[in-house]
Amino acid sequence: MAAKRAEYRTERTLWNEGGPTMARTDDHHIRTAGIDVPIRIHRPTTEAALPGLLFLHGGGFSLGDLDTHDRIMRVVAAAGGFAVIGVDYSLSPEVKFPQALHECAGVVDHLAGHGEDLGIDGTRLAISGDSAGAVLTLGAGLLLRDEPETIGANPASFSALRALLPIYGSHGLIDSASRRLYGGDWDGMGIHDLSNLLDDYLPTPEDEHSPLVAHLTADLSGLPPVFVAAAGLDPLRDDCRALARTLQRAGNDVRFEEYPHVLHSFLHFGRILDDTTTVLHNAAAFAAHHLN
């Protein structure tokens, strides 16, 4: 696993070059869920207090860190005019569900109550993430709404969430046309690969049915506005489509965008791919509209 993480980090180095320059970037730790969780705050302006968007990186719950998604975070911060807070949650298989989820929700709770200590307006927060980070995005929102006591969170912290932005995540489908059509050994997104990722993340098979993981089974009513983005050639495309429809049926404000000609993980390729720039700017605009 150490070798896989090093390879992933090295491969992402090229794609993180360039991009917007921040007015200030700071690394901190927040004590929550029993550990000190590393965070990185990108501030595009020098304003004393900015609304904040937490970004939860992808990597199948087992790969990725604050560096592998750094350019993505800077692009969103610059485009939206708000602070972006990357969360370096604990990885699997060493740590199992729900630890990483508790860490992410705990960071939201901390910022809602003490954001001013870090120059963040704790009354104006959003959460976004790609792939595994999208799973954690929805899960954190649902946890803070329904079970804040499990992490000792203030029940009022949920009201600080102004938007959720899950991008090409898995949301509970067991089978689908896109899971059968796309992905394979060549990209680590085949049916067995996806199953193995969940096996590493979840302590028991029964946890796959938790509404904090299988969001399509959850009560999705009463959530803040949601921006859902899908990649058209992604095994998880149909999860994203189903999530958007289920959110709409539950009465939520939903914006759904599908980029038909791109693969899973296309957020990383902003140096060469126009669709990456488009979706990041659209997501940032959606978040900024609801944060301001």
CA distance 281 to 292: 16
- Please, which residues bridge with residue 32 across strands? 35
Supply 22's token pair. 């921040």
Supply 240's token pair. 């994203």
CA distance 289 to 291: 6
> Of residues 62, 128, 131, 178, which has the active-site annotation?
131
By the 10 Å C-beta count (0-12 exposed, 13-18 middle, 19+ buried), 29 is classed as exposed
CA distance 173 to 114: 37
Supply 20's token pair. 């917007």
Nearest of 113, 168, 142, 106 to residue 222 by alpha carbon = 142
The answer to whether residues 216 and 135 touch, using CB atoms and an 8 Å cutoff, is: no
CA distance 202 to 124: 31
By the 10 Å C-beta count (0-12 exposed, 13-18 middle, 19+ buried), 152 is classed as exposed
Nearest of 7, 8, 88 to residue 268 by alpha carbon = 8
Q: Is 157 a catalytic residue?
A: no
The answer to whether residues 226 and 255 touch, using CB atoms and an 8 Å cutoff, is: yes
Give strand ranges (E) for the chain: 24-32, 35-43, 50-56, 83-87, 120-130, 161-167, 226-231, 254-259
Active-site annotation, residues: 131
